[in-house]
Amino acid sequence: MFAEFFVRALVAGLGVALVSGPLGCFVIWRRMAYFGETMAHASLLGVSLGLLLDLPLPPTVFATAVLVALALLGLERLGGLSTDALLGILSHASLALGLVAAALVPNLRVDLMSFLFGDILAVTWFDVAVVFGGGLGALGVLALFWRQLLASTVSPEIASAEGMKPGIARLILVVLVAAVVAVSIKIVGVLLITAMLVIPAATARRVSPSPEVMAVASSLCGMAAVVAGLFASLNFDLPPGPAIVAAALLVFLASLAVPRRLIMGSR
């Protein structure tokens, strides 16, 4: 059958797609695509700090991403700058600081390119356990707060009137996105994780009659992209991370062929 490394890569990729699908829906609904990129750059900073300070990478990456997310929320409260301007500042600052920190690591023996573009074929069963442990935990929190997150996304004013707290919902969401980025960085890389959050969700949005269906469809689209991308990588000697994202793009383009009247008719 298939080599063990390929099986590990397939299982890990499916785990990333499973959890990034529903969260990607909120990224699409809240127009937070640039936030996902900011979290990815913050993750690279976390990798560099972990290497520099000799700390375990997954918790260091998660903590760094969460701190950057909290910095964004704090700066938004101060006012004066739009959210996209703040995201631009934090995104590029995180990337620059990450590269500076990496340059300070003595005798760096880690290939940072693997963190930029992912190295899914090199994942271990421990990496798979981290992906599924963190991913299932994130999905559990998402399911627990689904109604509150959805209501706050549709209308923060109505959610507040019903006794919900949109600010808390936003905090939960940014922490969940940070967690998913942290556990996914070794699989698809810093530069591609945003694509895995956005493209499957954008595909599912075109063909889904309800938010719940869209969340499931987004995961399925991501899983299809993982399977197609990995087999394309195996058969045509392509880099697996970019191949997965390219497959996700093809699935999205295929969804454009679905007649609009069929989509509207299902709603």
What is the model's pLDDT at position 141?
94
Quote the DSSP letter at residue 110. S
Assign 2 to helix, strand or coil.
coil
- Residue 250 corresponds to which tokens in the numbers above? 């093809």
What is the model's pLDDT at position 178?
86
- Residue 153 corresponds to which tokens in the numbers above? 């996304």
Q: Which CATH class is domain 4-189?
A: mainly alpha
Residue 177's nearest CA partner among 53, 3, 26 is: 26
Residues 248 and 140: their CA atoms lie apart, in Å, by 25
pLDDT by residue for the chain (267 residues), tens digit each? 678 999 999 999 999 999 999 999 999 998 888 888 888 889 889 989 998 999 988 889 889 999 998 999 899 888 778 888 999 999 999 989 998 998 898 877 666 677 777 888 889 999 899 899 989 999 999 999 999 999 888 888 777 777 778 888 888 998 898 888 888 887 888 778 889 999 999 999 988 889 999 999 999 999 999 999 999 999 999 999 889 999 999 999 998 887 765 555 554
- The domain segmentation of the chain, as residue ranges, is 4-189
Structural contact between residues 45 and 95, judged by C-beta atoms closer than 8 angstroms: yes
Residues 64 and 47: their CA atoms lie apart, in Å, by 9
DSSP assignment of 22-82, as one string? HHHHHHHHTT-HHHHHHHHHHHHHHHHHHHHHT--HHHHHHHHHHHHHHHHHHHHHH-SS-
Can you count the helices (H) and strands (E) in the chain? Answer: 13, 0
Residues 180 and 198: their CA atoms lie apart, in Å, by 13
Structural contact between residues 166 and 150, judged by C-beta atoms closer than 8 angstroms: no
What is the model's pLDDT at position 228?
96
Burial 180-205 (b: 16+ CB within 10 A, else e): bbbbbbbbbbbbbbbbbbbbbbbbbb
- For residue 140, give Cα distances in angstroms to 22, 109, 218, 249: 11, 37, 17, 28
What is the model's pLDDT at position 165?
81
- For residue 56, give Cα distances in angstroms to 3, 37, 65, 115: 28, 23, 15, 15
- For residue 264, give Cα distances in angstroms to 25, 84, 134, 198, 258: 19, 32, 36, 22, 11
Residue 132's nearest CA partner among 119, 145, 144, 123 is: 123
